């Protein structure tokens, strides 16, 4: 209803001022609405995109924004068909979100081919702004480097020097381990060992016992999704964190912590781009978000969608058109500013830079209630949070 | 089960002496006609997806419906062929037809290796052996450096057919895909109605009797397994050029399950059933995508209904109504 009233009010305002400008923009939110990433992206991303449009007051500025959404079921071929159809037939101007790296890379390629804009919030692969970067692709919220780097650096600096890795045995796990090891060693820590578990894994007990026996300060979980959740559960059964070793999740979201419960997840250290309880702005925004989402708090992916759509709409307003090159140029040459991420900027390779935060999961005693999960350990400034431009290998960078 | 067997059996006894039944020719002609005008009415990439899955399901149907062998690992052939084709087109820079041939060929070789071991067992054990091998292929695809892990192989160039005809345009590619898939379907039709196909059906219906008649049953089974694997590979190769990507989804076990679902829904052991099944499932995945979580729920409900109410599948029921094999 709100959106409708806002649109109508906007339309009325536009008629009264007789603004000459009118741009019709169509955004397609493409993500997982039925599978494992449905909670961290899903409908919440659509809500976040709508909130961005309302808050920007797009209608009164002569920009008519329509939002459509679809479920890519985490399958790159479904994502690719929908993306093509949206660009070719539905007249979609920008695709938003897209978790799952393989689906995101596929959409990025199609976006390049069709000369449109892709605002990614949900995927983790650094390739989106690295080897496979594209002129219309912006990678907004996080990537594996930012998470590994953030957690690795900040933990060593707070005295957790000796690391042991529990790594999912495939390319993704290996690169997560390699990225983290590098930063751990650079900041003066050391890696005392690592063990690889099959992907997808179910029984982590023997690996966790090895990690426990290693005597390392930190056990780094270089895995994702169900593997991370299961290894945290089993680590809790062995009482690993209670015994003094820290558990560092390298790719974990607040929805995972919510699903695990504080009893199991307490003590876990992780990096995120956003937490609802950071400051007054994020609290106010998150309260509005949870009102529309039946009480659940936003994830960093939702926040990223909000931030990206806001910056995109500013670009459309400034360029007075939705033409890809003009909008992307404006977006890359002007700093972003919004309620959720505060200040940020979009680098020439499409990487969005903003502060990242290192959190620790509270114990049940520390938590004041629902969704009160994290305490802030440190803030990682935008300049060091992301992979340096020259290391990405993006062809757009001369 | 017994009803399906009977219909197909009678199809065999009718089809053989009088050659190709007229209504099959008519259906093929109508289908081709529809597919020729389809890209001008519907979205070409979407129909290409249906075509690829139709060929994949028909390949499985050749094995399941006519050979009586339930493979639960067909994603291995589909997926490995799509990886090989994607790699050949992207890294080696080969033309599409050579890439597709390489993909199909590698699926056939893989089919020979897996088939040679799997056909030694029957029923559920056969299904489990194929599933086990498919999982091995999945792990290979996950680990091997050239497959790109969970990112898959992206941005595969469609290239120029025979080095001259550019396939970048969706409609041009559509007609190439149509030719490949229709060729595949006709080949399957021919295989089913050849003497080889008749022996297959005999083995399916009564293996000990076929042995007693002097047929080397295992050779027939292996041959049909390799053919089915190669055709599944052809579908996978074509798919990787259509979507310009190859990913873990193609080799994951859910893909094997999905293609069994398509075959059963459309009508196992019928000629046009897998096509219909593939069209229904792909359409649901595509057009219901905006309903979110409902896609999988709908898919499950439809499957339950089809198992409870019409076990012969959509085309199987139609064929019973008109009392003609389809």
What pLDDT, on the 0 to 100 scale, is given for residue A49?
Answer: 95
Q: Are residues A166 and A182 located together in one domain of the fold?
A: yes
Predicted local confidence at residue A33, as pLDDT? 87
Give the separation between CA B134 and CA B40, rounded to whole angstroms.
38
Whether chain A has a CB inside 8 Å of the CB on B151: the answer is yes
Asked if A114 and A88 touch (Cβ cutoff 8 Å), the reply is yes
Q: Hey, of A77, A111, A126, which one would you mutate to test binding to chain B, going by the most B CBs within 10 A of its CB?
A: A77
- How is residue A396 annotated by DSSP? T
Residue B8: the pLDDT is 45
Identify the residue whose tokens are 């007051």.
Answer: A57
* Residue A102 belongs to domain with CATH number: 3.40.50.2300
C-alpha closest to that of A362 among A271, A287, A261? A261
Chain B contact probe: residue of A102, A123, A125, A222 with most B CBs at under 10 A = A102
Shared domain check, A117 and A6: yes
pLDDT band, very low/low/confident/very high, at A20 (cuts 50, 70, 90): very low
DSSP A352: E
Dihedral of the CA atoms B236, B238, B241, B244 (nearest 10)? Answer: -30
Contact of B43 with B287, CB cutoff 8 Å: no
How high is the pLDDT of residue B299?
80
3-state DSSP assignment of residue A266: coil
Co-location of A360 and A222 in the same domain? yes
- Do A210 and A298 share a domain, yes or no? no
Same domain, yes or no: A258 and A167: yes
What percent of chain A lies above the pLDDT cut of 70?
95
B293 with A34: Cβ contact below 8 A? yes
Q: Categorize the per-residue pLDDT at B115 as very low, low, confident or very high, splitting at 50, 70 and 90.
A: very high
| Closest residue to B247, CB basis, from A33, A102, A127 | A102
Minimum distance, in Å, between the CA of residue A322 and any CA atom of chain B: 24
**For residue A368, what are the contacts with CB-CB under 8 A and spacing of at least 6?**
none
Nearest-Cα distance to chain B for A316, in Å, is 26
Q: Are residues A246 and A370 in the same domain?
A: yes
Query: Which B residues, 192 through 251, put their C-beta within 8 Å of a C-beta on chain A?
Result: 239, 243-245, 247-250
Residue A57 has φ and ψ, to the nearest 5°, of: 60, 50
Q: Evaluate if residue B12 carries a pLDDT over 50.
A: no
CA B61 to the chain's CA centroid: 7
Q: What DSSP string describes B30-79?
A: HHHHHHHHHHHHS-HHHHHHHHHHHHHHHHHHIIIIIT----S-THHHHH
> Do residue A288 and residue A175 come from a single domain?
no
Do A187 and A325 fall into the same domain?
no
A214 lies in the same domain as A89: no
A101 touches chain B (CB under 8 A): yes
Q: Which of A85, A88, A106 sits opposite B245 (nearest CB)?
A: A106
Q: What pLDDT, in 10s, does the model give residues A160-202?
A: 999 999 998 887 888 889 889 999 999 999 999 999 998 778 8
CB contact, 8 Å: A114 with chain B? no
Task: Answer whether B7's CB lies under 8 Å from B323's CB.
Answer: no
pLDDT of residue B298 exceeding 90, the answer is no
Beta bridge partners of A195: A166
Q: Does B41 touch chain A (CB under 8 A)?
A: no
B165's enclosing H/E stretch is strand B165-166
Rounded to whole angstroms, the Cα distance separating B281 from B292 reads: 15
B296 touches A at CB < 8 Å: yes
ipTM of the complex: 0.78
Least confident of A41-50, A256-265, B149-158: B149-158
Chain A contact for B167, CB < 8 A?
no
Q: Given an 8 Å threshold on Cβ–Cβ distance, is B249 in contact with A43? A: no
User: Are both A108 and A157 inside the same structural domain?
Assistant: no
Only one residue has tokens 């449905």, namely A38
Structural domain tally of chain A? 2
Best A81, A172, A226 member to test B by mutation, with max B CBs in 10 Å, is A81
Look at residue A389 and tell me if it is in a domain. Answer: no
- Predicted confidence band of residue B16 (pLDDT cuts 50, 70, 90): very low
pTM equals: 0.84
Q: What are the residue ranges of helices labelled H in B145-246?
A: 170-192, 195-205, 207-212, 217-243
Burial B217-234 (b: 16+ CB within 10 A, else e): beebbbbbbbbbbbbbbb
pLDDT in tens, B134-187: 999 999 998 888 888 888 898 888 888 888 888 888 889 999 999 999 999 999
Owner of token pair 């399950």: B257
Report residue B63's pLDDT band, with 50, 70 and 90 as the boundaries: very high
In three-state secondary structure terms, A118 is strand
| Most A-contacting residue of B53, B138, B154, B158 (CB-CB within 10 A), to test interface | B154
Residues A43 and A75 in one domain: yes
Kindly determine whether residue B247 and residue A77, on different chains, have CB atoms separated by under 8 Å: yes
Closest by Cα among A52, A33, A198 to A103: A33
Q: What is the pLDDT of residue A21?
A: 62
Tell me the chain A residues in contact with residue B150 when contact means C-beta distances shorter than 8 Å.
101-102, 170-172
B149 touches chain A (CB under 8 A): yes
What pLDDT sits at residue B14? Answer: 43
Q: Is residue A246 part of a domain?
A: yes
**What CATH code would you report for B2-322?**
1.10.3470
Assess whether pLDDT exceeds 60 at residue B67. Answer: yes
For residue A109, the chain B residues in CB contact (below 8 A) are 154-155, 244-245
In the predicted model, what is the mean pLDDT of chain B? Answer: 88
Specify whether A157 is located in the same domain as A241: yes
Average predicted confidence (pLDDT) for chain A: 89
Which residue's entry shows tokens 């590098």?
A: A182
Find the Cα–Cα–Cα–Cα dihedral A131, A134, A138, A144, rounded to 10°. -20
pLDDT of residue A307 exceeding 60:
yes
Would an 8 Å CB–CB cutoff place B83 in contact with chain A? no
Contact across the interface for A85 and B45, Cβ inside 8 Å:
yes
- pLDDT tens figures, A110-137: 999 999 999 999 998 888 999 899 999 9
Q: Which residue of A has its CA nearest to B298?
A: A34
**The domain containing residue A56 runs over which residues?**
2-142+278-350
- Rounded to the nearest angstrom, the minimum Cα separation between B151 and chain A is 4
Q: Is A16 on the interface with B (CB under 8 A)?
A: no
Nearest CA in chain A to B45: A81
Cα–Cα distance for residue pair B32/A1, rounded to 1 Å: 48
User: How far apart, in Å, are the Cα atoms of B17 and each of B13, B187, B189, B196?
Assistant: 7, 20, 16, 15
């Amino acid at each position: 209803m709100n959106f409708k009233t806002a649109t109508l009010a906007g339309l009325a305002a536009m008629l009264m001022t007789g603004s000459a400008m009118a741009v019709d923009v169509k955004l397609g939110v493409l993500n997982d609405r039925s599978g494992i990433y449905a909670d961290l992206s899903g409908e919440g991303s659509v809500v976040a995109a709508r909130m961005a449009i309302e808050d920007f007051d797009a209608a009164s500025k002569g920009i008519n924004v329509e939002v459509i959404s679809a479920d890519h079921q985490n399958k790159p071929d479904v994502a690719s068909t929908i993306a093509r159809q949206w660009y070719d037939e539905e007249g979609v101007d920008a695709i938003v979100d897209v978790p799952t790296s393989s689906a995101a890379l596929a959409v990025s390629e199609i976006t390049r081919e069709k000369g449109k804009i892709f605002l990614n919030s949900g995927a983790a692969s650094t390739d989106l702004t690295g080897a496979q970067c594209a002129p219309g692709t912006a990678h907004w919220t996080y990537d594996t480097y930012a998470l590994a780097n953030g957690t690795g650096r900040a933990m060593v600096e707070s005295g957790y020097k000796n690391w042991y890795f529990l790594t999912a045995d495939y390319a993704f796990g290996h690169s997560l381990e390699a990225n983290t090891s590098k930063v751990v060693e650079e900041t003066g820590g050391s890696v005392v060992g690592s063990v690889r578990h099959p992907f997808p894994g179910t029984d982590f007990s023997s690996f966790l016992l090895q990690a426990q026996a290693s005597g390392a300060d930190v056990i780094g979980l270089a895995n994702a999704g169900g593997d991370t959740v299961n290894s945290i559960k089993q680590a809790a059964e062995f009482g690993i964190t209670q015994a003094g070793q820290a558990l560092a999740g390298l790719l974990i979201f607040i929805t995972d912590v919510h699903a695990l419960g504080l009893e199991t997840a307490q003590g876990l250290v992780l990096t995120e781009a956003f937490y609802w309880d950071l400051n007054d702005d994020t609290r106010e925004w998150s309260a509005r978000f949870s009102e529309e989402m039946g009480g659940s708090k936003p994830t960093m992916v939702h926040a990223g969608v909000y931030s990206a759509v806001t910056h995109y709409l500013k670009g459309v307003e400034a360029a007075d058109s939705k033409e890809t090159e003009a909008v992307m140029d404006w977006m890359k040459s002007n700093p972003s500013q919004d309620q959720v991420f505060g200040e940020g900027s979009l680098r020439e390779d499409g990487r969005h830079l903003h502060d990242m935060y290192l959190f620790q999961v509270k114990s049940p005693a520390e938590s004041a209630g629902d969704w009160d999960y994290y305490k802030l350990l440190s803030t990682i400034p935008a300049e060091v949070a992301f992979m340096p431009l020259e290391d990405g290998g993006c062809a757009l960078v001369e | 089960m017994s009803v399906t067997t009977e219909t197909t059996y009678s199809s065999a006894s009718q089809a053989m002496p009088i050659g190709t039944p007229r209504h099959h020719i008519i259906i093929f002609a109508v289908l081709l006609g529809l597919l020729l005008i389809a890209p001008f009415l519907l979205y070409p990439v979407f129909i290409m997806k249906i075509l690829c899955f139709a060929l994949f399901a028909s390949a499985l149907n050749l094995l399941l419906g006519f050979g009586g062998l339930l493979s639960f690992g067909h994603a291995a052939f589909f997926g490995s062929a799509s990886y090989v084709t994607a790699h050949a087109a992207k890294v080696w820079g080969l033309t599409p037809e050579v890439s597709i041939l390489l993909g199909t060929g590698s699926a056939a070789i893989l089919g020979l290796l897996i088939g040679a071991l799997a056909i030694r067992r029957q029923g559920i054990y056969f299904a489990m052996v194929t599933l086990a091998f498919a999982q091995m292929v999945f792990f290979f695809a996950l680990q091997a450096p050239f497959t790109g892990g969970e990112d898959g192989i992206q941005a595969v160039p469609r290239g120029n057919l025979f080095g001259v005809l550019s396939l970048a345009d969706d409609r041009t590619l559509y007609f190439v895909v149509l030719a490949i898939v229709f060729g595949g379907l006709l080949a399957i039709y021919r295989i089913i109605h050849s003497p080889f196909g008749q022996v297959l059906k005999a083995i399916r219906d009564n293996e000990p009797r076929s042995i007693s008649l002097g047929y080397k049953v295992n050779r027939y089974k292996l041959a049909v397994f390799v053919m089915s694997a190669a055709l599944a590979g052809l579908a996978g190769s074509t798919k990787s050029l259509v979507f310009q990507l190859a990913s873990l989804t193609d080799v994951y076990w859910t893909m094997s399950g999905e293609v069994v679902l398509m075959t059963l829904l459309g009508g196992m052991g019928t000629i046009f059933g897998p096509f219909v099944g593939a069209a229904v499932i792909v359409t649901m995945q595509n057009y219901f995508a905006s309903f979110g979580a409902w896609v999988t729920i709908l898919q499950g409900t439809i499957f339950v209904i089809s198992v409870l109410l019409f076990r012969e599948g959509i085309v199987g029921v139609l064929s019973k109504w008109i009392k003609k094999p389809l």
